[in-house]
Amino acid sequence: MNKPIVIGMIGLGTVGSGVMRLIARNAEQFLHKVGAPLVIKHVAVQSKEKERDLEVAPQVLTDNVEDILNDPEIDIVVEVMGGIEQAKQYVTKALQNKKHVITANKDLIALHGAELAQLANEYECDLFYEASVGGGIPIIRSLTHGLASDEINRVVGIVNGTTNYILTKMSQNHEDFGDVLQDAKAKGFAESDPSSDIDGLDAARKMAILSGLAFSTNIDLSDVHVKGIRHVSLEDIKYIQNLGYTLKLLGIGDRKHQKIEISVEPTLLPNSHPLASVHNEFNAVYLYGEAVGETMFYGPGAGSLPTATAVVSDVLEAAKNLRLGTTGRSYITPQYGKDLKSNAEMDRKYFFRILVKDKPGALAQITSIFAKHGISLERILQQPKSKSVAEVVLITYRSSYENYEEVFNEFEQLDVIDSILSSYRVEGEE
């Protein structure tokens, strides 16, 4: 039998225990696929005394990460501890010690992925991170392998399960954001501090990773325009539903004439769009390729075993490379420098909900500002709210983001506008 592939894992929480279970459960299958057994020699944790719901031999568990990083027998390091700075130190040292690294850490990859990939290349090591986006959905390998022959110009994703769960429940049960958030925390779909999810940061990190791969360029987190769902009201949802749309926190990466834009924001999709029926904590990514057309990848975006499938598939790829002597050959320098679209080059369609003072000619003043900046209106609804104010709901046709900025500036000066209750991007009708 071939020499075992020896693994050291840092972290034994949700993902780490899934990895241990999956490697034990499918050991025979992996032996057949790799031609050598996979052996987990050490697992590093914070506390060896913590009660765990899976059995680990005492000699395997360690609270000293150096036992993994400095062990010459260990071929592959699996980083599933999370966090950024310490994880970066460990991954860096593992690569410098010529260990192949598998990570599920989107925060680490979104912030330091380019630097770590170059380090891996320098030390001729593999660095794989399939689980960092979409949990159990094999989206990264689909971009780098399955669709490598195509030119991908648009990536649209529901890549955060917590916010998708919240928006689904608000839409289905007509409950307020705050109530649904409490329920999501109780059911384990939201963390005790959910700000990175609900403010869009988690999705932005995943979109930075996906867009960088899809468009073969390095994307920084600051390149992603981000707006979360904290301010989405039940009233918004009801109007959106009445108009035949569904509200989703959508990540959109778009490239036109080599210029790109990336955003994460609550977005209206027509109910007929496939992403509109991705409910609860599920994730999905829609890709538009010049040759393939439209493809959609759907599945669990998190969870112990689903995420472990992605981590262990990466382990198998690194293990096969080790057997074949081809490790460290997968790094490709990005083909393009980064060229971001200007506001004038970004093209948008919007939904607005505006509280208007009940004065003669008020609606005409609002519509004339849109007309002045070249924005046509597709739908207008007006409904009295009280004796002194009415609510106006508008959907525009597409126009440049620069034009909308002018409209927003003029609205601020307009006396007949009481307040802009909400404004959301509208997509998916092309």
Ligand X SMILES: NC(=O)c1ccc[n+]([C@@H]2O[C@H](COP(=O)([O-])OP(=O)(O)OC[C@H]3O[C@@H](n4cnc5c(N)ncnc54)[C@H](OP(=O)(O)O)[C@@H]3O)[C@@H](O)[C@H]2O)c1
Q: Which residues are known to be catalytic?
A: 206
Query: What crossing angle do the helices spanning 401-413 and 362-372 adopt, rounded to 10°?
Result: 150
- Applying CB under 6 A, the span of 24-32, 103-111, 250-258, 385-393 interacting with ligand X comes to 103-111
**194 makes contact with ligand X (CB under 6 A):** no
From the number of C-beta atoms within 10 Å of its C-beta (0-12, 13-18, 19+), residue 46 rates as: exposed
The secondary structure element, H or E, covering residue 80 is none
**135 makes contact with ligand X (CB under 6 A):** yes
Q: What are phi and psi of 48, to 5 degrees?
A: -75, -20
**15 makes contact with ligand X (CB under 6 A):** yes
Q: Which residues share a beta bridge with 303?
A: none
**45 makes contact with ligand X (CB under 6 A):** yes
Indicate the residue among 90 and 215 with the shorter CB distance to ligand X.
90
**228 makes contact with ligand X (CB under 6 A):** no
**86 makes contact with ligand X (CB under 6 A):** yes
Provide the minimum distance between the beta carbon of 67 and ligand X in the complex, in angstroms, as a whole number. Answer: 10
**11 makes contact with ligand X (CB under 6 A):** yes
Indicate the residue among 87 and 319 with the shorter CB distance to ligand X.
87
Indicate the residue among 105 and 217 with the shorter CB distance to ligand X.
105
**12 makes contact with ligand X (CB under 6 A):** yes
Q: Which of 2, 46, 172, 333 binds ligand X (CB under 6 A)?
A: 46
Tokens of 276: 């509109």
Indicate the residue among 13 and 35 with the shorter CB distance to ligand X.
13
CA distance 27 to 18: 14
**9, 90 in Cβ contact below 8 A?**
no
Provide the minimum distance between the beta carbon of 135 and ligand X in the complex, in angstroms, as a whole number. Answer: 5
- Applying CB under 6 A, the span of 74-82, 112-120, 267-275, 414-422 interacting with ligand X comes to 74-82
CA distance 71 to 243: 61
Tokens of 360: 């003669």
Q: What residues contact 10, with CB distance under 8 A and at least 6 apart?
A: 43, 44, 65, 68, 77, 78, 79, 80, 81, 87, 90
**303 makes contact with ligand X (CB under 6 A):** yes
Half-sphere CA count of 132, side-chain side, radius 13 A: 31
Q: Which of 77, 81, 158, 250 binds ligand X (CB under 6 A)?
A: 81
Indicate the residue among 20 and 180 with the shorter CB distance to ligand X.
20
Q: Which of 50, 238, 256, 385 binds ligand X (CB under 6 A)?
A: 50
Three-state DSSP at 263 gives: strand
Using DSSP bridges, classify how beta strands 282-289 and 152-158 pair: parallel, antiparallel or unpaired: antiparallel
- Position with the least CB separation from ligand X: 13
Q: Which of 28, 47, 222, 335 binds ligand X (CB under 6 A)?
A: 47
Provide the minimum distance between the beta carbon of 311 and ligand X in the complex, in angstroms, as a whole number. Answer: 8
**204 makes contact with ligand X (CB under 6 A):** no
DSSP class of residue 341 equals P
Indicate the residue among 135 and 428 with the shorter CB distance to ligand X.
135
DSSP 388-417: SEEEEEEEEPPEEHHHHHHHHHHHHH-TTE
Q: Which residues share a beta bridge with 426?
A: 268
**105 makes contact with ligand X (CB under 6 A):** yes
Tokens of 111: 């912030």
Size of the site for ligand X (CB under 6 A): 25
Alpha helix segments (H runs only) across 101-200: 106-122, 139-141, 161-173, 177-186, 195-198
Provide the minimum distance between the beta carbon of 132 and ligand X in the complex, in angstroms, as a whole number. Answer: 6
Number of H helices, E strands in the chain: 14, 18
**113 makes contact with ligand X (CB under 6 A):** no
Provide the minimum distance between the beta carbon of 175 and ligand X in the complex, in angstroms, as a whole number. Answer: 24
**74 makes contact with ligand X (CB under 6 A):** no
Indicate the residue among 90 and 288 with the shorter CB distance to ligand X.
90
Q: Where are the beta strands (DSSP E) in 90-144?
A: 100-103, 127-128
- Interaction site with ligand X (CB under 6 A): 10-16, 44-47, 50, 65, 80-82, 86, 104-106, 131, 135, 302-303, 307
